[in-house]
Structure 1
Amino acid sequence: MTASQTESVKANPAGVVLSDVAAQKVKALIEQEGRDDLRLRVAVQPGGCSGLRYQLFFDERSLDGDAVTEYDGFGVVVDRMSVPYLTGATIDFADRIDAQGFTIDNPNAQGSCACGDSFH
C-alpha cells in the first residue's frame, strides 16, 4: 500500500465516498428524523439476481468491527464484512425525471443485473 493509499484509508476507513449532493441529502434526511444518533449504514448482503445486494439505511447501532467515516454532521458506517466489497465506491443522489434516489458506483462490481439492484 502506498503512502497516499494509507492516508486515504485513515481519512476514510469505511472506504465509501459520498458526493456532495448525496451528503446533503443524507444530512437532510437525518435532520427530518429529528435524531442526532443516526448514521448511514451501507452494507452488502447476499441476494438479488446477481448474487450481492446493497443496503442503505439509518442505524444507531455500533457493531464490532464497524468502519466509520465522519462527514459534516453524520457518519457513514460499513460493517467489516462489507468493507472489501465497498472500498472505493461512490454514492451519489439523483433527483431527475429519469432517475431518483441514491446510486452506487462501485469499482469492485464485476457485473450487475439489468435492474441495477444487485452485483457480483
Structure 2
Amino acid sequence: MTVSDQTLSTAGTEVADGIVLTDVAASKVRSLLEQEGRTDLQLRVAVQPGGCSGLRYQLFFDERALDGDIVKKFGGVGVVVDRMSAPYLTGAVIDFTDTIEKQGFTIDNPNAQNSCACGDSFH
C-alpha cells in the first residue's frame, strides 16, 4: 500500500496522482464519516465493469487495504484507489453537488469517451 499526505492545493481542490477531490467533496465525506462514528474508514473509488456503456464508478467507505492501493489524503480524508482503477481515474475530478435538481457525488473524468444517457456508466 502506498500512503502519502503530499498534495498540491489549487483553487479549492487538492491534486494527487492525477485525481482531484474538491474541498466540498472532502467536507461531505468527512461529515458522513462523523455521522457513522468511524474514523477507520476511507473513501474507496473504483471502476468496475457494468452499466450500459461498459464501466461503472463505485464510491464506498472501506476499511480494507489491498495490495497496490494508492492512498491519498484530501482535507484529512483518506481516498483509496486500487491499482487496476487508477489509470481510468487519472485527471478525474470528484465533487459533491447539493442543489434542488441533484444531490450526490459527481465524477468529471477526462478519460471517459462516452457515457450513457442516465450518466451511470462510461466507456
* Superposition TM-score, scaled by structure 2 size: 0.85
For 1:97 and 1:18, locate their aligned partners in 2 and report how far apart those are by CA, in whole Å. 22
Q: Quick one: which of 110, 119, 122 aligns to 1:119?
A: 122
Question: Runs of 4+ in structure 1 displaced over 4 angstroms?
Answer: none
Residue 75 of structure 1 pairs with residue 75 of structure 2: no
CA distance in 2, matches of 1:106, 1:47: 17
| 2:100 alignment counterpart | 97
The RMSD of aligned alpha carbons is 1.5
Match of 1:35 among 32, 38, 47: 38
Q: Which has the higher helix share?
A: 1
Count of residue pairs the alignment pairs up: 111
Quote the sequence identity (%).
Answer: 76
Query: Where in structure 2 are there 5+ consecutive unaligned residues?
Result: 1-6, 9-14
Stretches of structure 1 lacking an aligned partner (at least 5 in a row) = 1-6
Query: How big is the shift at 1:73?
Result: 2.4
Residue 66 of structure 2 aligns to which amino acid in structure 1?
L
Q: Secondary structure at the match of 2:87?
A: helix
SS at match of 1:68: strand
Contact 2:27 2:75 in 1 (8 A): no
* Higher strand fraction (1 or 2): 2
Residue 104 of structure 1: how far off its partner (Å): 0.3
Shift of the alpha carbon at 1:84?
0.2
Amino acid at match of 1:24: S
| Aligned residue identity for 2:69 | D
Which whole-Å CA distance do the structure 2 matches of 1:117 and 1:20 have between them?
23
**In 2, Cα distance between equivalents of 1:90 and 1:71:** 12
